[in-house]
Amino acid sequence: MRQPMGAYGRSATGRRTGGPRVKVRVLGQPRVETSLGSIAVGGQRAKFLVGLAAAGGVLSVEEAATLLWPSVRPPSWRGALRVLVHELRDAFSRVGAPRGLVQRSGPIFVLDTGDGEVDVDLWFARDAARDGRAAWEAGDFVTARARAEDVESILAEGVLPGLDDEAVRDLRGGVTAERIRNLEVLARSAAALGDCSSALETVEGALGLDPTNQPLCQVGLMAAETLGAVARGLALYARLRAALASGLGVSPSPALAASYARLIAAQGGQARGADEPHSLPEAMRSRHRVVGRTTELAHLGVLWGRVERGEGLASVVVGPAGIGKTALLGELGAVVVSRGGRVLYGRESDPPSHELAAIVEALRAYQTRCARVGVPCNLGPLGADLETLLGSGSDNVRLAPRSRRLRLSQAVRGWWAAVGSERPTLVVLDDLHWASATTTAILADLAVDGPPEGVLVVGAARSTGSALPPSIGSLVSWGARTIELGPLALDAVADLLGSTGHDAARVAAEVWLASGGNPERVWELAELVVNPGARGRSGLARLDVDRLSPPARRIVRAAAVLGRATPASVVFDVADTDDVAALQEAQAAGVLGLSQGGSVVLRHDLLREDVLAQAGTDEKVRLHARAAEALAKGGTSSHTLVHHLARAAPVVSPERLAKARLSAAREAASLGAYEDALSALDAWRVERSDGGADDLDALVLRVECLSALGDPRLRDAVVELLERAVVLRRIAAAATAAEIVTAALIPTLVGREDPAITTRLQAALERARRPEHIASLASALALSRVWTASARDRRALARRAVAALDRRGGQGADALALATLTRAHLGSLEAAHPAHRLASARRILALARSTHDIEGVARGHLLAHDALVELGHLDEADLELQAARLCAAALDDQVRWEVEIREAGRRLMAGRLRDAEAAAEQALVTVRAEILREGAAAVYGAQLMMVREAEGRLGELADAVAEFRRVQHEWTVWDAAEARIAVALGDQGRARELLARGVAELEDPVRTDITWLARAVQYAWVAGDVRDVEMAQRLVALLAPYRGTVHWSVCVSLGPVDLLLARLLMLADPRRASTPLERARRLLANDGLAYWRARLADLVS
């Protein structure tokens, strides 16, 4: 078998052996060289030889057939394979190479290198790359660079030039991944040795192979900064950013953004902005002096001091309108700015300007300021999502609803974390009593991890008695302290009045009593008491709007109804006047403000409330109706339009209001604001007329929203949608429901079949005629029945789905093709052999990339990882897992959990037990969805058992398992854990008792899901430990149907499952044990698996 090499053309010892030396070159044009001559290898023989070498010298017959005939195998493919191998051996013998260079041993082919007589260039490159990485980690940069340069000179020749089919692309992709990994070592070593020019050149070439490689780009930016090659560094960053946005929908990491900012500074573009002090947002600049808030301001100042030291904190300020919440936060903002901090400000409004008004306002202000001072915006790793929210990004990345919604929360937190890492940042979210349901939910999501380091988040809202707005409740759940502002004391009022030149002693008591200590009222009453005939002050104008002319009053009331800053032309339309003089009159009276852009707004919300209180009900209805008409002409958001139509309901037709609500729901869903979309749909269901044409489409949208939010009403909504779709023969709606249900109700690893859903999916499939509908429904059924239907039935469904996909004709790669193939792959055993599964995973991955489906990309990498692990190609599997991790960071908790359990499994396989336990814990805390928790606990428990058993400490878990059983007594995972502990403690009788009971429960389950499978694996280890033949036979029968399904990946994460199966079969049916035993040998031949090799040796002995 394969021998390690110290240098190409020599054995590990450097001694040549007898006979002609054989060099097998599989890179570039494949050929075999000896001292007697050289012979080129081409065509199918070249593919076979390269595939055999790329697989490490061991290739199964099935893998070879998939490699040679990736699409359709010829009827006599086995004979053709034998002929090909015979021809290859004859070619070898013509140049003196041994015919036994390629051997067949049962179901596998072997590239036999003898006693170091054969050198393979790809193997040499891999050994040298491994040596280079080890040298880099040890700090020997000279050796690391030399090895990496040797590797690059070999790998740069490429794979099978001139050939291009699916199998060749897979081979090429694997070698390219190894090359990129080596180029990173080469670039880092060159940079560490001070050769930044070579490092930058290496990175520029490597990014052409992998445009989304952030670690490589980081090396390049650092090298460019050192060299002063700013233009080249900026070009690198631009390439990476474009590739990440278009391919994954993410932005460069904060570290990369910081390097980019330093390059901008070096170019001089930041020269002015870098030192420009951060200014206080205009809305936080108080018109009046703040008094009587010393204690509150001191508390906020203490919090800010902790944030400056690196903490992440939150606080809330509540109180009635006009009490001085914004003014207090303005004082805090002034302190922050004076100490070099940054202030981000946004406020909610009534009517709402956006579903995420406060966040969007702060984001726009941040972008505007960055553009003004010439510094790059640091929006965090998901900045592309925020740009889409603002309408400035390209929303070309496909996401499942749940991932889209969770990414919205992650994007906001990522932005705050990014700016907080640059300098301490104060985030003020004002008027949160008007916050939308989505804003409230985002704040609740962020409470899970708390505020980012270096950020103080302060929310302000009105309070009504002891009740807090839901948005403030979300902030309080972060651990935020509530600061409640009460009325000013008499001495504070006197101080406030004295600062204006009034005779405080004469009027303070009168003003204090009349105003109730409300600062906004204090100002207006003071002016009225001191100068009853005065005009031009906003406070006086509030009490005396009726003194304005009728056109001016109409303008003021129109502005009050419109609520927020609105173009003057719209205000004139609503007021039914175009009297500019009247607008100027109101402005001169201090009632209205007019911005440079021509927008009109009332001076204070308290003034607005007073004006609306003076207006009659009929007048307000009329004004809201006119506002809806005026805003509709200007293309306002549906969210705002619904606000006015709902308040004009007495004069607006129910059909128009229902239509507007449906439009608002669609608009909100398109932004990921599913909570607001669902609220609009709930209202629409009440107001719509029965039998409307939009009912089914609205129900589809409702299912999407419930899916995104993990709402327990989803199941009933799906059943209703499927029923109505079948009755109305709207099979397209049923197909859409199938897409959603397989993504939400039947998550890939944890779901279970729901007969109410699968029965209706079957009914829809029976009525489906269009190929795209058949593809969706059949593949959804194949996946949804993965726990209960026979492999034969699921294979039939999968084949039907793929056949329907092929019948569409001319559609090519699209979202439907991706979804159908993924479900068919996951739901059937059609690709039971790992080589088939790998080829299928590669196809899914290519489709996902072409359709910009980030979840599909992550799924494709995970499927490829699982197949590669079973094939024993662990280095390649690690690369796939790293790629999946990059995608999963921006997806929902299920995908992230699947990545983490595989990471724990890989560490467990490698014998890195402490790392494995830490990774298993990380996987457990990743889970937040209720549907995942029991399954995640079962997998965590099984992984923890494997770790502690390997350490000889399994008995220590007895008390912990007893406590878990007490807390979660309804879960079924604990008996399997107790059985393994009983074995460790030597209590064979107890272990056998628990084993018998557990297997009986597995054979007649209440439900079959991931918890069931994790228990089955645990009981399988117990059966082997106690050598119970009957239980081994029954467990083999239980586990066999799941080999090759996606659920097998969980088994793989619990250790080498082929070793487990071989162990069971040695007890149950020794004749069948040879195949899993051989697979276990192949897998455990890899470096770093000493613990499991020892267990294999024990089994064999």
| pLDDT score at 775 | 86
Please check whether residue 505 is in contact with residue 494, taking contact to mean a CB–CB distance below 8 angstroms: yes
What are the Cα distances from residue 897, in Å, to 62, 704, 842, 889, 1065?
Answer: 31, 22, 22, 10, 31
**pLDDT for the residue 542:** 47
1-193 CATH = 1.10.10.10
- Cβ neighbours of residue 891 under 8 Å, at least 6 residues apart? 399, 403, 406, 407, 854, 855, 858
- pLDDT for the residue numbered 446: 81
Instruction: Please report the DSSP string for 297-363 in residue order.
Output: HHHHHHHHHHHHTT--EEEEEE-STTSSHHHHHHHHHHHHHHTT-EEEEEE--SS-SSTTHHHHHHH
Is the pTM higher than 0.95? The answer reads: no
What is the block-wise mean pLDDT of the chain (1101 residues), using blocks of 10 residues?
Answer: 36 38 87 86 88 81 83 85 88 82 78 74 88 87 93 90 80 85 91 91 89 87 88 85 73 75 64 49 77 88 91 90 88 90 90 86 89 79 78 63 82 88 90 89 82 91 72 72 85 73 65 78 66 45 67 88 84 87 83 76 79 86 90 81 89 87 90 90 77 73 87 85 88 84 58 78 90 87 76 81 78 68 66 69 80 81 83 79 81 83 84 85 82 78 82 76 65 76 86 89 72 83 89 86 62 72 84 79 68 75 69
Which pLDDT score, from 0 to 100, does residue 849 have? Answer: 78
Domain 275-486 has CATH 3.30.565.10: no
Peptide bond into 351 cis (omega under 30): yes
Bridge-based pairing of strands 118-120 and 22-25 is: parallel
Residue 6's pLDDT is what?
A: 36
User: What is the helix (H) or strand (E) element at residue 406, kind and residue range?
Assistant: helix 401-422
Q: What is the pLDDT of residue 665?
A: 92
Residues 6+ apart with CB under 8 A from 570: 562, 627, 630, 631, 634
Tokens for 593?
């403000």
Q: Output Rg (C-alpha) for the chain, integer angstroms.
A: 35
DSSP 9: T
Could you tell me the residue ranges of all domains in the chain? 1-193, 275-486, 505-511+519-565+572-651, 907-1100
Tell me, yes or no, if the two domains 1-193 and 275-486 fold the same way: no
Are 382 and 418 a contacting pair, CB within 8 Å? no
Q: What token pair was written down for 846?
A: 């290519």
Q: Which two tokens stand for residue 67?
A: 């490699």
Kindly give, in sequence order, each residue whose CB lies less than 8 Å from that of residue 896, ignoring residues fewer than 6 positions away.
888, 889, 926
Tokens 């990994």: give the residue: 181
